[in-house]
């Protein structure tokens, strides 16, 4: 008999990242530091990978869809928990990161339950999201983009949309782009089944 041994993400892991942000002394305008802001990219990749691990376990029927959705929600709750200030500039970047990750979480949830548009081109969906945001319909824009994310998780390539002006749509696309990049990278997480034989040490 086997049981799940892994914790996909933890509060301790998140707090360790927050400490790294504080140590980085991040500033929004620091052209002399080429690595300025890199820590936020690492955080994004770390959270995205955790979500993709959940999806991989669900696809291998190690996790039920309900259990997978619950795990995604656990990760989301950790990311959106209140934390002490990291400094004005870092706090702004953290909020931007959370917006991007919101697209990741809902995209994963949509993919797991299969609730997304499979017909409309990704270019058209993104254009519809931009139009919705311009019309102040942020909920619709978010919903559309989460469907783009689900399509990317299903294996479609994210087109090059060029330079999207700074907006919620642009931040959400950043999250979806992180999903795309993670899926093109190291994929050993898909093979690890996250289980352990009964009687083995965890």
pLDDT in tens, 29-78: 755 555 668 899 999 999 999 999 999 999 999 999 999 999 999 999 99
Tokens found for residue 33 = 């530091």
Confidence of residue 12 (pLDDT cuts 50, 70, 90): very high
For residue 63, the model assigns a pLDDT of: 93
For residue 39, the model assigns a pLDDT of: 92
Between 160 and 49, where is the model more confident? 49
Inform me whether the pLDDT recorded for 11 exceeds 60: yes
Whether the Cβ atoms of residue 122 and residue 196 lie closer than 8 Å to each other: no
Tokens found for residue 183 = 């899926």
E strand or H helix at 133, and its extent? helix 122-134
Please spell the DSSP secondary structure of 144-177, one letter per residue: HHHHHHHHHHTTPPPP----PPSSHHHHHHHHHH
Inform me whether the pLDDT recorded for 6 exceeds 70: no
For residue 161, the model assigns a pLDDT of: 78
**Mean per-residue pLDDT of the chain:** 87
- Per-residue pLDDT averaged across 171-194, rounded? 79
Residue 132, phi-psi category: left (phi > 0), alpha (psi -120 to 50), beta (remainder): alpha
Tokens found for residue 94 = 């953290």
Between 123 and 199, where is the model more confident? 123
Between 43 and 6, where is the model more confident? 43
E strand or H helix at 78, and its extent? helix 65-79
Phi, psi of 197 (to 5 degrees): -70, 145
For residue 5, the model assigns a pLDDT of: 57
For residue 201, the model assigns a pLDDT of: 36
Spatial separation of the C-alpha atoms in residues 124 and 34, rounded to whole Å: 35
Inform me whether the pLDDT recorded for 23 exceeds 60: yes
Name residues whose C-beta falls within 8 Å of residue 13's C-beta, 6 or more positions apart in sequence. Answer: 46
Residue 160: Cβ-neighbour burial (10 angstroms; 0-12, 13-18, 19+) = exposed
Looking up tokens 């990760």, which residue turns up? 75
For residue 160, the model assigns a pLDDT of: 83
For residue 172, the model assigns a pLDDT of: 94
Collapsed DSSP state (helix, strand, coil) of residue 4: strand
Spatial separation of the C-alpha atoms in residues 31 and 21, rounded to whole Å: 18
Domain edges within the chain: 2-197
Between 200 and 121, where is the model more confident? 121
Between 171 and 184, where is the model more confident? 171
> Could you tell me the end-to-end alpha-carbon distance of the chain, in angstroms, rounded to an integer?
14
Lowest mean pLDDT among 11-20, 88-97, 156-165: 156-165
Between 12 and 7, where is the model more confident? 12
């Amino acid at each position: 008999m086997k049981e799940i041994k892994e914790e996909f993400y933890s509060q301790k892991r998140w707090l360790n990242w927050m400490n790294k942000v504080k140590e980085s002394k991040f500033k929004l305008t620091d052209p002399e530091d080429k690595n300025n802001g890199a820590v936020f990219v690492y955080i994004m990749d770390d959270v995205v990978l955790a979500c993709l691990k959940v999806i991989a376990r669900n696809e291998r029927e190690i996790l039920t869809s309900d259990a997978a959705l619950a795990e995604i929600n656990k990760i989301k709750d950790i990311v959106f928990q209140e934390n002490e200030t990291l400094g004005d500039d870092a706090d702004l970047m953290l909020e931007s990161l959370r917006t991007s990750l919101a697209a990741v979480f809902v995209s994963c949830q949509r993919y797991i339950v299969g609730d997304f548009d499979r017909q409309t081109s990704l270019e058209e969906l993104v254009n519809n999201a931009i139009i919705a945001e311009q019309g102040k319909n942020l909920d619709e824009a978010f919903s559309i983009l989460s469907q783009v994310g689900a399509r990317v998780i299903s294996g479609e390539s994210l087109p090059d949309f060029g330079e999207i002006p700074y907006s919620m749509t642009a931040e959400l696309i950043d999250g979806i782009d992180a999903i795309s990049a993670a899926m093109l990278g190291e994929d050993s997480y898909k093979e690890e089944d996250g289980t352990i034989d009964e009687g083995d040490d965890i």
